[in-house]
């Protein structure tokens, strides 16, 4: 009799049990691992988060609403933002010993002064066994005043002071500097801006680096002379630390657009033998000059000016109004040319002009002849402003050295337009660094002259932010511009910016 043996194949449960071992602590079947323990038993023996504090403190300044980012930086963070999460994680010292896998906020009441962060970390334990653990860290928000707010409350909030001054009668250059600062936002890091009673601005800063940045900006846009000083406030003999207050005095060139200057012999020769009496056409990073009788131009750089300084012998306040009686354009063969002559302006046209003082018109018409660079603007019957050097009282060393033949009787500066009409049709405005300036009569006149210069010089307007005056446009009659003289220079609407106006409008019922 013959027997046939049959083998039975093992089931899936038998195969799975065959590859598992029993936990050495509780006897639960587990996958083989170096510790021979299950996850529950392994957690009872090893805690990878033992060196990580479960409670910590973050500091918050209530005045400026910033959090302390160790060691000394204060940052602006909103609740449950990645910036605040970074600040919280930096407060946990033992986090470097494990691998951070995930981190996120757990919602808490915003006014509870508690911030909860849920962390997931990996850690290697017992001969290469990697354990993952999730835990929660609770941060307590403590109030602490930052250094900037502390100095503000102690009335000792600034460390550096930048003083901008101009020792001149006319302040148009300071108005131009103010608009340059506003356009390029060079005043963002200031703690405060105050006007000076003597004319000028004071900028206060918390650090010397921010003050130096402002000094470098002013030096880039205007010719200035910088003088710095420092004052010792306190000294710690134990840590050998000093606390200073720094001051920077910026002296702007005492010249503005439209001023008449008299150059020294050495500077005159270095500028292409230009005439000693010149008119200032522009004050930017250099002083731009023009000889009204030849249209020859020159530029005086910052270093060249302070090596051979000169001052204005006549300012725009000394200009006299004249009426044009006749204009005759000068031909090219009649112009004076000589070897070594500097560049000549092609934007201006030389002309022989005969004028009469507006105050003497119809009474004693004493016609005065002069050669001017305004031949492209003037026509018979126009009003023009100029300097009457024959009757001017000038006290200047360089001017007294000139021969009588080299001094012209009259120099024309610019065409005159009706000031009241220009002011009435002005539908734009400028912004200011501070509104605490008390405008007296002289400063207000200088400011109106600066506005007129903006209307007459398109190149100058490129460096200034001009805003629409909505209130002025609404109150202005529709036909004002139609009635105005078309030759009067004005700023177009395309060059104006829309002013930001925040109006609180009550919401109606839906």
The predicted pLDDT at position 503 comes to 47
75-84, 277-286, 430-439: the lowest-pLDDT one: 430-439
Q: Residue 291 and residue 458: Cα distance in Å, rounded?
A: 21
Q: Dihedral (C-alpha) 210, 214, 220, 224: value to the nearest 10 degrees? A: -130
List, in sequence order, every residue forming a beta bridge with 58; answer none if it has no partner: 141
The predicted pLDDT at position 436 comes to 59
The model's pLDDT over 304-313, given as tens digits with 9 standing for 90+, comes to 999 989 999 9
The predicted pLDDT at position 508 comes to 44
The model's pLDDT over 122-145, given as tens digits with 9 standing for 90+, comes to 887 766 677 788 899 999 999 998
Structure tokens at 272: 């292409």
The model's pLDDT over 195-213, given as tens digits with 9 standing for 90+, comes to 887 778 999 998 899 999 9
Q: How far does Cα 184 stand from its chain's mean position?
A: 4
Please check whether residue 316 is in contact with residue 283, taking contact to mean a CB–CB distance below 8 angstroms. no
- Averaged pLDDT, 13-20: 58
Q: What is the DSSP string of 356-400?
A: EEGGGTTT----EEEEESBTTT--TT-EEEEEETTT-----HHHH
The predicted pLDDT at position 217 comes to 95
pLDDT above 60 for 507: no
The predicted pLDDT at position 125 comes to 74
Quick one: which of 147, 145, 154 has its CA closest to 206?
147
Axis-axis angle for helices 441-456, 172-184 (nearest 10): 60
What's the per-residue H, E or C state across 223-236? CEEEEEEEEEEEEE
Please check whether residue 298 is in contact with residue 276, taking contact to mean a CB–CB distance below 8 angstroms. no
The predicted pLDDT at position 240 comes to 83
Helices (H), 185-338: 208-221, 265-270, 302-307
Structure tokens at 286: 């250099």
78-87, 285-294, 302-311, 362-371: the lowest-pLDDT one: 362-371
Please check whether residue 95 is in contact with residue 89, taking contact to mean a CB–CB distance below 8 angstroms. yes
The predicted pLDDT at position 58 comes to 92
The predicted pLDDT at position 127 comes to 63
For all residues of the chain together, what is the average pLDDT? Answer: 84
Cα separation values, 407 from 30, 298, 353, 400, 411, Å: 109, 19, 17, 10, 10
Contacts of 397-405 spanning 24+ positions with Cβ under 8 A: 398/262, 398/263, 398/264, 398/276, 398/310, 399/262, 399/277, 399/313, 401/265, 402/262, 402/276, 402/277
pTM of the model: 0.69
Please check whether residue 130 is in contact with residue 123, taking contact to mean a CB–CB distance below 8 angstroms. yes
Q: Note the maximum CA span of the chain.
A: 161
The predicted pLDDT at position 213 comes to 95
Residue 480 CB contacts under 8 Å (≥ 6 apart), including other chains: 424, 425
The predicted pLDDT at position 6 comes to 33
The predicted pLDDT at position 305 comes to 93
The model's pLDDT over 33-68, given as tens digits with 9 standing for 90+, comes to 777 777 777 777 777 888 888 899 999 998 888 999
Axis-axis angle for helices 208-221, 172-184 (nearest 10): 120
pLDDT above 70 for 12: no
Q: Residue 452, class by beta-carbon neighbours within 10 Å (0-12 exposed, 13-18 middle, 19+ buried)?
A: buried
């Amino acid at each position: 009799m013959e027997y046939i043996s049959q083998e039975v194949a093992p089931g899936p449960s038998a195969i799975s049990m065959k590859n598992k071992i029993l936990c050495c602590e509780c006897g639960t079947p587990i996958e083989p691992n170096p510790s021979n323990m299950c996850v529950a038993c392994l957690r009872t023996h090893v805690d990878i988060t033992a060196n990580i504090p479960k409670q910590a403190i973050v500091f918050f300044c209530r005045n400026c609403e910033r959090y302390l980012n160790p060691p000394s930086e204060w940052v602006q963070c909103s609740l449950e933002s990645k910036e605040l999460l970074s600040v919280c994680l930096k407060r946990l010292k033992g986090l470097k010993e494990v691998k951070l896998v995930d981190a996120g906020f757990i919602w808490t009441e915003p006014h509870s002064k508690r911030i909860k962060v849920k962390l997931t970390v990996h850690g290697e334990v017992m001969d290469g066994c990697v354990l993952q653990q999730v835990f929660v860290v609770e941060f307590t928000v403590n109030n602490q005043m930052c250094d900037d707010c502390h100095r503000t409350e102690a009335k000792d909030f600034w460390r550096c002071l930048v003083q901008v001054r101009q020792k001149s009668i006319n302040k148009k250059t300071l108005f131009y500097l103010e608009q340059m600062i506003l356009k390029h936002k060079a005043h963002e890091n200031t703690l405060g801006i105050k006007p000076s009673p003597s004319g000028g601005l004071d900028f206060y800063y918390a650090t010397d680096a921010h003050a130096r940045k402002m000094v470098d900006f002013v030096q880039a846009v205007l010719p200035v002379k910088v003088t710095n000083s420092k004052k010792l406030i306190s000294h710690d003999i134990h840590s050998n630390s000093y606390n200073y207050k720094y001051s920077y005095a910026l002296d702007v060139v005492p010249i503005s657009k439209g001023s008449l200057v008299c150059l020294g012999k050495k500077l005159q020769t270095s500028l292409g033998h230009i005439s000693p009496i010149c008119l200032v056409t522009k004050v930017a990073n250099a002083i731009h000059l023009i000889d009204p009788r030849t249209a020859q131009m020159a530029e005086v750089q910052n270093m060249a000016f302070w090596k051979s300084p000169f001052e204005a012998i006549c300012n725009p306040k000394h200009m006299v109004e004249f009426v044009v009686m006749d204009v005759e354009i000068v031909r090219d063969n009649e112009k004076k040319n000589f070897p070594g002559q500097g560049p000549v302006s092609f934007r201006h046209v030389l002309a022989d002009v005969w004028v009469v003082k507006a105050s003497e018109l119809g009474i004693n018409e004493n016609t005065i002849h002069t050669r001017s660079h305004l031949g492209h603007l003037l026509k018979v019957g126009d009003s023009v402003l100029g300097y009457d050097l024959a009757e001017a009282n000038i006290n200047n060393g360089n001017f007294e050295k000139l021969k009588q033949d080299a001094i012209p009787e009259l120099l024309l500066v610019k065409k005159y337009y009706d000031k009241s009409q220009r002011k009435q049709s002005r539908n734009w405005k400028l912004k200011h660094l501070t509104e605490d300036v008390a405008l007296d009569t002289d400063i207000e006149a200088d400011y109106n002259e600066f506005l007129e210069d903006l209307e007459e010089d398109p190149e100058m307007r490129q460096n200034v932010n001009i805003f629409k005056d909505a209130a002025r446009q609404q109150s202005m009659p529709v036909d004002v511009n139609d009635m105005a003289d078309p030759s009067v220079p004005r700023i177009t609407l395309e060059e104006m910016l829309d002013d930001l106006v925040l109006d609180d409008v009550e919401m109606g019922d839906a």
